[in-house]
Amino acid sequence: MRASQYLLSTLKETPADAEVVSHQLMLRAGMIRKVAAGLYTWLPTGYRVLKKVETIVREEMNKAGAIEVLMPVVQPADIWEESGRWEQYGPELLRIKDRGDRDFVLGPTHEEVITDLIRNELSSYKQLPLNFFQIQTKFRDEVRPRFGVMRSREFIMKDAYSFHTSQESLQKTYDDMYKAYSAIFTRVGLDFRAVRADTGSIGGSSSHEFQALADCGEDDIIFSTESDYAANIEMATALAPSGTRASPSKTMELVDTPNAKTIDELVTQFNLPIEKTVKTLVVKASKNSEHQLVALLVRGDHTLNEVKAEKLDLVATPIEFASEEEIRQIIGAGPGSLGPVNLNLPVIIDRDVAVMSDFGAGANIDGKHYFNINWERDVALPTVADIRNVVEGDASPDGKGTLLIKRGIEVGHIFQLGTKYSQAMNATVQGEDGQNHVMIMGCYGIGVTRIVAAAIEQCNDERGIVWPEAIAPFSVAIIPMNMHKSAKVQETAETLYTQLQAAGIEVFFDDRKERPGVMFADSELIGIPHTIVIGERNLDNGEVEYKHRAGGEKEMISIDNIIEFIKHKAQ
């Protein structure tokens, strides 16, 4: 590509409205432009990268035996009503009407369409397993689109859906997808982790997220220092506390604490170690419980893990915190003065709370706390469960090492869906036994557009983007010095451009009448891995200058060898 016939659109200044480095660099490098909130046009440089990511995703999906299809962006409401998601899905689902006032949605995902298709096309277990994928535009009406294409409203996703008649078959495809995803993220050059994830509202039994490590990531991901244990914050567990509870050493006392409504205030005002305090959180009880509310207790320095709490039979799903009014009505005290002693609610305590002794908590009387509470002596030991988020330094659940927490950008997600959709939509095939069986499903997503942003988060320096070779918009930049004044420089540049292209290498030939400084800055900003600088003086020595974007020193290369040299480098 000749720069003179290209839309480079680089910017010198960092746009004020871009918070994260990938968004800033995508704007500065002329990769994207905003059309409206969460809607972007991919400019030529951005599109070249996007297409390379898409190609890698497609190749690995094909290799894993998935079959490509294309489903419509606009989907009729009736299948969403059938699956139940027309009601369940929040306002992120953009519901629209056509000219005949019929209801449609802009597809945020395609479970309904594929399930509807497959229930019509398949009749026998002999046709299974099958795994279908598409690379298609999706729409989610995010309440706060942000970080450029990282969380945009319109985006490109690779989504796949597999169909099975047995859990073993699903597990095999799931494992194949796990491997394919690992291959994809490795090929695009991401530093990523596959972490165990909650299946959440999509349902199903097993799930992994593929997280690209990055400080700006929106997810907390957890690893062991010593093993391959990895999970997202929702799923991560620590090793259960070892040892037994210390015996009581002090008498329980009722203390006036009029100005201590939070753990912080309690700790500061009464000089209590935070590990000797307990937080009491009150949530709605599940419908089939005889109670209205349930109390959940975690140590003062821990936080409640809502996903874990939701899995408790007693707790309503989705989790809902009781209002101050509801708490007062039933307990007779405000949320800042609650605790396990004399509490007229079912209580569930975290495993770490169960091993505490001589601890402080609210007295269920406004302005009062009990200090030196001890289980069994002062109050019966309630139900114990793992209901907290892990913290850095917790013991890994496999007993190997301790837990670290990093931030991740979710770039992929694989689910064992089970029969959530196939049951609701009656998607069956005849089994070996002649009976109809509801198919078992898996689903597998990759945020294609998001990968581009994630790669930039990981690969940049003060001068711009440092692309991994596999997804760079161009492989080689040719920068001729004062080409418009030197016939020799021009001739060499043109020859090199032709020869490199003939060798199948993607070349950005900066043939603009610009100062060398401008050309270097642009080439470094858009992150082209290899740069060849052509100057008259070096040509007199039969040489050109080579520089690798990732930080290598300049090298002088003989003009006779440069093609082979680049072919070797740009692999």
Query: Could you list the residues that contact a copy of itself (CB under 8 A)?
Result: 5-7, 9, 33, 35-36, 39-44, 47-48, 50-51, 65, 67-76, 91-92, 94, 96, 98-99, 104, 106, 113, 116-117, 120-121, 127, 130, 132, 137, 139, 141, 143, 153-154
For 168, other C-beta atoms within 10 Å of its C-beta total 9
Q: For residue 442, what are the CA distances in angstroms to 84, 169, 181, 324, 343?
A: 18, 10, 14, 42, 44
Q: Which helix (H) or strand (E) holds 264?
A: helix 263-270
Q: How far is the CB of 406 from a copy of itself (least distance, A)?
A: 32
CB 364 within 8 A of CB 334: no
Task: Please identify, using beta-carbon distances, which residue of 112 and 198 lies nearer to a copy of itself.
Answer: 112
Q: For residue 90, what are the CA distances in angstroms to 1, 86, 440?
A: 45, 9, 26
Q: How far is the CB of 153 from a copy of itself (least distance, A)?
A: 7
Q: How far is the CB of 185 from a copy of itself (least distance, A)?
A: 22
248 cis-preceded (ω within 30 degrees of 0): no
Task: Please identify, using beta-carbon distances, which residue of 96 and 246 lies nearer to a copy of itself.
Answer: 96
Q: For residue 402, what are the CA distances in angstroms to 229, 230, 346, 395?
A: 10, 11, 33, 4
Task: Please identify, using beta-carbon distances, which residue of 76 and 334 lies nearer to a copy of itself.
Answer: 76
Q: How far is the CB of 500 from a copy of itself (least distance, A)?
A: 17
Task: Please identify, using beta-carbon distances, which residue of 16 and 70 lies nearer to a copy of itself.
Answer: 70
Task: Please identify, using beta-carbon distances, which residue of 35 and 556 lies nearer to a copy of itself.
Answer: 35
Separation of CA 415 from chain center = 14
Q: How far is the CB of 189 from a copy of itself (least distance, A)?
A: 22
Dist. CA 264–CA 267, nearest whole Å: 5
At 563, give phi and psi (nearest 5°). Answer: -60, -50
Q: How far is the CB of 541 from a copy of itself (least distance, A)?
A: 34
Residue 479, beta-bridge partner list: 533
The CA radius of gyration of the chain, in Å to the nearest whole number, is 30
Q: How far is the CB of 94 from a copy of itself (least distance, A)?
A: 6
Q: Which two tokens stand for residue 251?
A: 């008498």
Task: Please identify, using beta-carbon distances, which residue of 119 and 530 lies nearer to a copy of itself.
Answer: 119
Task: Please identify, using beta-carbon distances, which residue of 80 and 359 lies nearer to a copy of itself.
Answer: 80
Interior/surface letters 44-68, b for 16+ CB within 10 angstroms, e for the rest: ebbbbbbebbbebbbebbeebebee
Task: Please identify, using beta-carbon distances, which residue of 71 and 404 lies nearer to a copy of itself.
Answer: 71
Q: Which two tokens stand for residue 259?
A: 């100005």
Q: How far is the CB of 35 from a copy of itself (least distance, A)?
A: 5
Task: Please identify, using beta-carbon distances, which residue of 282 and 441 lies nearer to a copy of itself.
Answer: 441
Q: How far is the CB of 90 from a copy of itself (least distance, A)?
A: 9
129 cis-preceded (ω within 30 degrees of 0): yes
Phi-psi map region of 189: left, alpha, beta (phi>0 left; psi -120 to 50 alpha): left
Task: Please identify, using beta-carbon distances, which residue of 5 and 244 lies nearer to a copy of itself.
Answer: 5
Q: For residue 257, what are the CA distances in angstroms to 121, 261, 337, 438?
A: 69, 8, 9, 59
Q: How far is the CB of 70 from a copy of itself (least distance, A)?
A: 4
What are the residues whose beta carbons fall under 8 Å from the beta carbon of 470, sequence distance 6 or more? 52, 56, 187, 188, 189
Q: How far is the CB of 512 from a copy of itself (least distance, A)?
A: 9
What are the residues whose beta carbons fall under 8 Å from the beta carbon of 192, sequence distance 6 or more? 185, 210, 211, 212, 213, 408, 411
Q: How far is the CB of 39 from a copy of itself (least distance, A)?
A: 4
Q: How far is the CB of 24 from a copy of itself (least distance, A)?
A: 18
Q: What's the residue count for the chain? A: 571
Task: Please identify, using beta-carbon distances, which residue of 78 and 265 lies nearer to a copy of itself.
Answer: 78
Provide the strand spans (E) within 109-176: 130-139, 154-164
Task: Please identify, using beta-carbon distances, which residue of 67 and 556 lies nearer to a copy of itself.
Answer: 67
CB 337 within 8 A of CB 364: yes
Dist. CA 149–CA 24, nearest whole Å: 11
Task: Please identify, using beta-carbon distances, which residue of 31 and 363 lies nearer to a copy of itself.
Answer: 31
Dist. CA 267–CA 145, nearest whole Å: 39
